[in-house]
């Protein structure tokens, strides 16, 4: 044991560490000496918390007995490799087993005839549990162009809860060495007072951005910080030493006094124009408007590296025939721009003869001069990376002195920096957009009798992502679920929560739970996984063949229905948003309504119709008007009309998701409606609401009271004497309403006299007294159907 465990004072350090630590001794087979198991010798308190088992229960136990359901995975061989090979390794593992559950990042190193392991519980990272969406978020952050870390306030300091791989590498540490460490330990002397900066960002909510110089290390860093939640700060950072040094060289380059003012003014004009540019289109516009006249050229072309070629991205002042040749130039071509892009060294040609000589003897036809007599080929280089070549052409021969060459190099350097920023910005925006699309359905399923279309309009810029989502879920023949929702926030956590909620709702819906039960279970899951998250949601279960829908709403705007030339905002029963409360007895209440053939349903998130400046009633009125005036019922055309009709606030301040449905199949009054309910006490009230909604929609209000009284007795009787779901069906005939309740019990109802003091026994007597007829039929395969009929006071038209 002594050859594995360190001294007691070292173990005391491990005891105080917020991350898990464990030491284990190899158990070897007699004779061969091969490792057959490991005995746990030490585990700190943090490790016991992560493993959710007492230390006393674990220490002294062997791996195969403590975690038998993980023996056959790659963990045991990994431990053997560390002990025998004496080389530390890192590994991320995810367990959902009876003996261990969690997502851990492990560092394993040799210790005597055994090993020491440090494990970080990734569930403590702000991005939350590793759902499918969460995994994509980790991948996106690890692939980001900047270092990124999340610091949570802890007792006057900050603790690193997450750092991406680039961030750890830029600070000279590994991820394992960084996560869980305090800022005061990571920053050392903190010469720029960043700890105080983090506190100011957290207290005021105002983002901070700055460029920091570290003279001892010869480095310059660009740092941005923003508040993340109520007690954390998100920090991104980038090493801009190369750009800063280049800028310093430009600023320090000497020049003759008579030309210094003009050169400075030109540089300032170019800098101002390029600093204001945030996209590549902005950069190209600034180049054409400011850089070209400042450089004095009659023609300008910007070519970027694209694989084995240079591609023309921008041009000004060049003839069409020259532009056509510059569209794509192989890097093997002798055109001087290709040599500059390969080497990063500028080239200056003072005459047409030099231009012709530079291309002589090379492969391919030479590039035409286009009437120019001199050229400056300038590398677009940032931090040693050459993005491409900037070409400035002149209409007359020209000698390029040292001052002009320095000036042109400065122009190209500024252009390259602005272009790199724009390319990174657009790449990050693309990552955010791809992530958002990855979390949304790639394609909505084809549903017979239903046409649909969806739109997602992101509002945020850069790497922010929103939490709006939608889905269409096939649930069986003629039945489909449609959902739209919105997780509060515009950040990685909101997107991760959105992915979790969407996947959970799809799973619960596929199990054919009722809409209210689906919403209750999603609410409970959200409270367990992300207690601080809040989401709104509207879920519809459409029954296409009978022309009905059952909806449940959790704090979300209600759908819009267009049918028969009329448009209305559906009056649905509304519950609280998801994640707001877990109070006992909380339930989400369903509403059933008719959806006739040819009707459109429009579901949307609140960013379409309201913000803090724009009242919801105004936005809904505009939406109803746009839906009514849409010239086509086709879902895609209708959504295009809504988005072009100026609905809601302008400019938008939130993401928007929309789904439009066109019900091609459908029943009508005089047909039937049916639903499946769980065999529990609350199902009786849910069945009554369903029947009341359907009868009201059919215009049979006179039947509601008697129907609900008799249905309550029959459903309650079924729930008391069966296990499993009950099935309620309403059939409206020309003279009678027939209501049937099916269950899986073979026990038949047995009316019996009830004494004066009896609390039950009168249900079937009530049914027998009020119903025009009632009875019981056996169901093939087991179970029974109890039915009753009520006469219509105003008989409808005869059935076909």
Q: In what order do the strands lie in the sheet with 219-227?
A: 157-163, 147-154, 232-239, 219-227, 208-214
pLDDT in tens, 88-147: 887 766 666 777 776 677 889 898 899 999 888 765 543 443 444 444 455 555 555 577
pLDDT per residue as tens digits for the range 384-394: 788 889 888 88
**Burial bucket for residue 160 (CB in 10 Å: 0-12, 13-18, 19+):** buried
Given a cut of 50, whether residue 449 has pLDDT beyond it is yes
CA angle 398, 400, 406 (to 5 degrees): 145
pLDDT digits (tens, 9 = 90+) for 38-94: 999 999 988 888 888 898 899 999 998 988 887 766 678 888 899 999 888 877 666
Pair 363, 334: CB distance under 8 Å: yes
Residue 464's pLDDT band (cuts 50, 70, 90): low
**From CA 89, how far away is CA 118, in angstroms rounded?**
11
What gap in Å lies between CA 508 and CA 578, rounded to an integer?
15
pLDDT of residue 181: 77
Structure token digits, residue 211:
């460029």
pLDDT value at position 1? Answer: 47
In this structure, are residues 690 and 550 in contact, taking their beta carbons and an 8 Å threshold? yes
Cα-based distances in Å from 722 to 415, 683, 744, 784: 77, 13, 6, 10
**N-terminal to C-terminal alpha carbon distance within the chain:** 89
What's residue 255's pLDDT?
38
What is d(CA 46, CA 180) in angstroms, rounded to the nearest whole number? 12
Which of residues 173 and 408 earns the better pLDDT score? 408
3-state SS assignment for residue 742 = strand
Task: Report which secondary-structure segment, H or E, holds 375.
Answer: strand 374-382
Among residues 383, 369, 308, the alpha carbon closest in space to that of 336 is found at: 369
CB within 8 A of 197, min separation 6: which ones? Answer: 208, 210, 225
Measured CA to CA, the distance from residue 275 to residue 283 in angstroms comes to 9
Written as six digits, the tokens of 319 are 């003839």
CB-based contacts of 375, cutoff 8 Å, min separation 6:
336, 347, 348, 349, 355, 391, 392, 393, 394
**CB within 8 A of 493, min separation 6: which ones?**
126, 127, 128, 228, 229, 530, 533
Q: How confident is the model at residue 319 (pLDDT cuts 50, 70, 90)?
A: confident
Q: What is the pLDDT of residues 471-528, one digit of tens each?
A: 999 999 989 999 999 888 755 666 777 778 888 899 998 988 889 999 999 998 888 8
d(CA 158, CA 416): 36
Closest CA to 620 of 568, 669, 576: 568
With H, G, I as helix, E, B as strand and everything else as coil, classify residue 329: strand
Are 511 and 725 a contacting pair, CB within 8 Å? no
Rounded to whole angstroms, the Cα distance separating 188 from 191 reads 8
- Which among 671, 685, 678 is positioned nearest to 594, based on CA atoms? 671
DSSP label at 611?
B
At 223, which helix (H) or strand (E)? strand 219-227
Long-range contacts of the stretch 98-101 (C-beta < 8 A, 24+): 98/69, 99/66, 99/67, 99/68, 99/69, 99/70, 100/51, 100/67, 100/70, 101/52
Alpha-carbon span 317 to 306, nearest angstrom: 23
């Amino acid at each position: 044991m002594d050859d594995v465990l360190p001294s007691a004072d070292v173990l005391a350090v491990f005891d105080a560490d917020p991350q898990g630590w464990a030491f284990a001794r190899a158990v070897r087979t007699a004779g061969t000496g091969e490792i057959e198991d490991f005995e746990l010798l030490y585990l700190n308190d943090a490790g016991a918390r992560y493993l959710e088992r007492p230390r006393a229960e674990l220490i002294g136990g062997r791996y195969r007995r403590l975690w038998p359901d993980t023996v056959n995975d790659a963990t045991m061989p990994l431990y053997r490799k560390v002990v025998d090979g004496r080389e530390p390794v890192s590994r991320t593992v995810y367990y959902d087993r009876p003996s261990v559950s969690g997502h851990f990042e492990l560092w394993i190193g040799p210790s005597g005839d055994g090993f020491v392991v440090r494990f970080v519980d990734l569930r403590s990272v702000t991005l939350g549990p590793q759902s499918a969406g969460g995994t994509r978020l980790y991948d996106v952050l690890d692939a980001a162009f900047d270092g990124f870390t999340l610091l949570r306030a802890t007792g006057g300091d900050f603790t690193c809860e997450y750092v991406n791989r680039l961030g750890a590498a830029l600070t000279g540490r590994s991820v394992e060495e960084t996560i869980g460490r305090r800022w005061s330990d990571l920053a050392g002397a903190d010469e720029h007072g960043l700890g105080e900066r983090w506190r100011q960002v957290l207290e005021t909510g105002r983002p901070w951005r700055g460029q920091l110089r570290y003279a001892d290390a010869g480095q310059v860093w660009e740092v941005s910080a923003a508040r993340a939640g109520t007690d954390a700060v998100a920090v991104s950072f980038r090493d801009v030493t190369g750009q800063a040094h280049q800028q310093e060289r430009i600023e320090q380059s000497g020049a003759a006094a008579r030309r210094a003012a003009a050169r400075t003014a030109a540089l300032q004009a170019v800098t101002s124009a390029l600093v204001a540019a945030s996209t590549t289109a902005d950069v190209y516009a600034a180049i054409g408007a400011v850089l070209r006249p400042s450089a004095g050229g009659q023609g300008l072309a910007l070519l970027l590296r694209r694989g084995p070629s240079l591609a023309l991205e921008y041009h000004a002042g060049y003839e069409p025939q020259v532009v056509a040749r510059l569209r794509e130039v192989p890097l093997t071509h002798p055109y001087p721009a290709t040599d500059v892009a390969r080497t990063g060294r500028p080239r200056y040609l003072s005459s047409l003869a030099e231009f012709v000589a530079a291309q002589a003897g090379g492969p391919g036809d030479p590039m035409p001069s286009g009437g120019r007599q001199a050229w400056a080929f300038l590398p677009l280089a940032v931090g040693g990376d050459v993005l491409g070549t900037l070409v400035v052409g002149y209409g007359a021969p020209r000698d390029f002195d040292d001052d002009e060459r320095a000036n042109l190099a400065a122009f190209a350097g500024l252009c390259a920096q602005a272009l790199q920023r724009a390319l990174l910005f657009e790449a990050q925006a693309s990552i955010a957009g791809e992530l958002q699309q990855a979390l949304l359905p790639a394609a909505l399923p084809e549903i017979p009798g239903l046409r649909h279309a969806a739109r997602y309009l992101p509002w945020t810029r850069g790497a922010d992502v929103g939490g709006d989502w939608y889905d269409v879920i096939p649930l069986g023949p003629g039945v489909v679920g449609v959902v739209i929702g919105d997780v509060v926030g515009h950040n990685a956590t909101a997107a991760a929560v959105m992915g979790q909620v969407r996947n959970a709702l799809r799973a619960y819906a596929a199990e054919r739970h009722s809409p209210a039960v689906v919403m209750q279970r999603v609410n409970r899951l959200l409270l367990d996984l992300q207690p601080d998250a809040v989401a709104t949601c509207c879920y519809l279960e459409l029954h296409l063949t009978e022309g009905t829908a059952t909806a449940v709403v959790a704090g979300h705007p209600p759908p819009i229905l267009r049918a028969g030339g009329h448009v209305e905002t559906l009056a649905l029963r509304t519950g609280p948003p998801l994640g707001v409360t877990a109070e006992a007895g909380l339930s989400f209440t369903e509403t059933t309504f008719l959806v006739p053939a040819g009707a459109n349903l429009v579901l949307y998130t609140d960013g379409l119709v309201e913000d803090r400046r724009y009242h919801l009633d105004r936005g809904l009125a505009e939406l109803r008007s746009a839906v009514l005036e849409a010239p086509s019922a086709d879902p895609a055309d209708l959504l295009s009309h809504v988005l072009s009709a100026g609905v809601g606030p302008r400019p938008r301040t939130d993401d928007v998701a929309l789904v439009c449905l066109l019900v091609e199949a459908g029943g009508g009054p005089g047909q039937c409606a049916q639903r499946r309910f769980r065999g529990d006490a609350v199902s009786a009230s849910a069945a009554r609401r369903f029947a009341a909604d359907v009868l009201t929609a059919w215009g049979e209000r006179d039947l509601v009271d008697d129907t609900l009284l008799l249905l309550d007795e029959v459903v309650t009787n079924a729930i008391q004497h069966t296990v499993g779901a009950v099935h309620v069906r309403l059939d409206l005939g020309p003279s009678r309403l027939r209501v049937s309740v099916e269950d899986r019990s073979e026990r038949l109802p047995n009316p019996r006299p009830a004494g004066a003091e009896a609390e039950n026994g009168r249900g079937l007597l009530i049914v027998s007294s009020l119903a025009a007829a009632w009875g019981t039929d056996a169901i093939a395969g087991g179970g029974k159907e109890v039915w009753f009929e009520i006469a219509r006071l105003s008989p409808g038209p005869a059935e076909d």
